[in-house]
Amino acid sequence: MPDAFPHFTRKLPRQTGISFRRVGGAIAPFFFIAAVVLTISLSFSLIGGIDEYMFAFHYELPFILIVFSALLYLMRPGMLRVLVAATPIIVLYLGMDLYYTFMHSIVKLDDLLLLPEGLIVSPTWVQVGVWAALGIWVLTFIILLKRRLWQLVLPLVLVVAAAVPPMIAFNKPAKFLKIAESRGINIVPWSDRWTVAQMGRAISLMLFAAAKQKAMGELALLPMIADPGRDPALLKSTLQDPRNIHIIVLESFLDPEQFKGLKFLTPPAPPQFKALRKKMHVATSPVFGGGTAQAEFEILCGVPSLELYTSAEFNMLDGAKTPCLPNMLTEVGYRTIATQSYKPDFFNSEKAYRSLGFEEINYPTAFAGNRPTYLKQEDRENYIFDGDLFNQNLSYVEKVLAEGRPFLNYVLGTYGHLPHDTDLVRFPPKVEIAGLDKHSQTNLAIQQFYYRAGALVDYLQKLRALDPKSLIVVASDHLPPLDGGPRIYQKFGYALTVNGEYKLNIWFYDGPEHKNLAWPDYHYEFMDFILDVLTEERICQQTVCKNREKWSSEKTIASYNNIMSRGAGIVRQSAPLVADAPNNLPATPSSELPTKQLVQ
């Protein structure tokens, strides 16, 4: 039988093949991006990253695909546009998992907003690399951008669709959270990691951001609760001997001897450090691997860094006075001096220190600009060695002592910061460790510790000779991430660990002794400990000191809110009730706040 439709039958196979190729080409990029983000998530879960649960993509993947398609269709067809559109999503996933792997902390949107500040305080090669990569991406995107307006209609609709959820999260946070909850999308209150694992990376960023925006709005409505324990009048009435106070916070000051899985062929510390070990204690830092300002905030303000409104409390402080230790001491006649050995941009330190109450702030000359400073350091690429910092501080302390006014000498040393760069001519390796890679960050940090420990012993001896009646506290801000975050500490058997976390840090006390000393167990107890010693326990007899008694979560949040709102200039109405009577506190929506579980 002759073929009645010869033309149709000849063309059908070819047309069908073309159609399949077109359909395949259209959907292939979406399978590609889905496979990539899933691979990243599952791969990192095997090496200590965020455990991925497949149902997270039930919420995450639709949004990711909308964002991806918006970027994809803004550009002209071709393989290169797939890579350009995928890059921001891949960077987000890689960044969040790398951050968790090394820092053991979940990235929040506030952390992303800190990237420009992080670049400012990064080495030149990092700045160049980041700006070069960003420039190449932007240039490529512009070159591939479609030129005809009618071709941009669909992509712009997709851009708007992708922008709607984050816009609602910021502008209508309560509405966003309500809609999300109605769809089973919510923050897991006891674990940020579980939230990310179950809801997805991008969705979690919006959830955390909305929760904090909502909390900020509620903060302005909460009453300002009186906190008599922070009243300078109470300190003045209980202070009989205004001793000078020295608080030294050292970047990533770890104790190598806690690595029980390492075999030291030579001692990891100089012989003179043995005597200082007798004055060594342990306290829990709020952070691991990074976040120096969080440790500073707890030490100087005496409350946990709850991160209710920002990922770093210092970034919310704008110079307005807070009821923190430096301000209390200023009110009773102390001179308050801060020495920060890196850039003023480091965690908004200049404004934050002003809020805390420091009358004088010193930065290295390399970064101080026109600011007055005693700290001479012209090297912009490397952190100043602790010993050099200490020697200059000693000379300055000697001048301050001559004035006869009691003072607070606060010093932040940043020498132990990653990547543990060392002048090998000046500081040749002293510690021999069996089987440890000499180029690893673990080895470099231990080599640094040998010289840092010696410098600290020398500093404390000279400081005590200069100021024999003073109160001295030396604390590490946090442990360094080394080569692989908590995995490295687990691998080498680091002894200072609780519940699988490595936030226990060494600290030293050199000052007045009495039999009833109550040692702080957390960084946020240092302030009360210092006031306790300074007043010979009198202040703790009239108020609740955290180094002696546990605070309720309600009282802690009330005190934290007072500090944050005052430091940010948020006006709130005063309440007649006091924070020292938690049972009488007015109801607050604290249960709805995205608080970390309070460690007691």
Contact predicate 390/459, CB 8 Å: yes
pLDDT number for residue 222: 80
| 374/362 Cα distance (integer angstroms) | 7
Phi, psi values for residue 310, rounded to 5°: -160, 155
Write down the residue that tokens 């690893």 correspond to: 440
pLDDT grade for 58, boundaries at 50, 70 and 90: confident
pLDDT number for residue 282: 96
pLDDT grade for 216, boundaries at 50, 70 and 90: confident
Whether pLDDT at 455 is above 80: yes
CA dihedral 525→528→529→535, nearest 10 degrees, is 180
Handedness of CA 182, 186, 188, 193 (dihedral sign): positive
Q: Could you tell me what percent of the chain has a pLDDT over 70?
A: 88
Helix axes 79-103, 56-73, angle to 10 degrees: 140
| 327/356 Cα distance (integer angstroms) | 6
Burial class (CB in 10 A: 0-12, 13-18, 19+), 164: exposed
pLDDT number for residue 334: 97
| 365/380 Cα distance (integer angstroms) | 9
Contact predicate 444/365, CB 8 Å: no
pLDDT number for residue 574: 66
Which residues lie closer than 8 Å to 99 by C-beta, 6 or more apart?
Answer: 105, 106, 107, 111
* Stretch 471-482: mean pLDDT: 96
pLDDT number for residue 41: 80
Whether pLDDT at 214 is above 60: yes
pLDDT in tens, 407-424: 999 999 999 998 998 999
Average pLDDT of the residues of the chain:
86
Best CA proximity match to 252, nearest among 427, 501, 449: 449
Cα separations in angstroms, 54 against 61, 104, 168: 10, 22, 26
The separation between the first and the last C-alpha atoms of the chain, rounded to the nearest angstrom, is: 90
CB atoms under 10 Å from CB of 291, counted, come to 23
pLDDT in tens, 128-178: 899 999 999 999 999 999 988 888 898 899 999 989 999 998 889 889 988
| 33/28 Cα distance (integer angstroms) | 9
Whether pLDDT at 106 is above 80: no
Structure tokens at 485: 């975050």
Q: Which amino acid type is present at position 413?
A: G
Whether pLDDT at 218 is above 50: yes
Contact predicate 339/362, CB 8 Å: yes
pLDDT in tens, 37-51: 888 888 877 776 776
pLDDT in tens, 262-292: 999 999 999 999 999 999 999 999 999 888 9
Whether pLDDT at 481 is above 80: yes
Q: Could you tell me what percent of the chain has a pLDDT over 90?
A: 51
| 401/394 Cα distance (integer angstroms) | 10
Domains of the chain: 14-221 (no CATH), 243-592 (3.40.720.10)
Write down the residue that tokens 């496979």 correspond to: 35
Contact predicate 44/101, CB 8 Å: yes
Best CA proximity match to 211, nearest among 195, 194, 193: 195
* Stretch 560-570: mean pLDDT: 88
User: DSSP state, 360?
Assistant: E
pLDDT number for residue 183: 85
Higher pLDDT, 186 or 341: 341
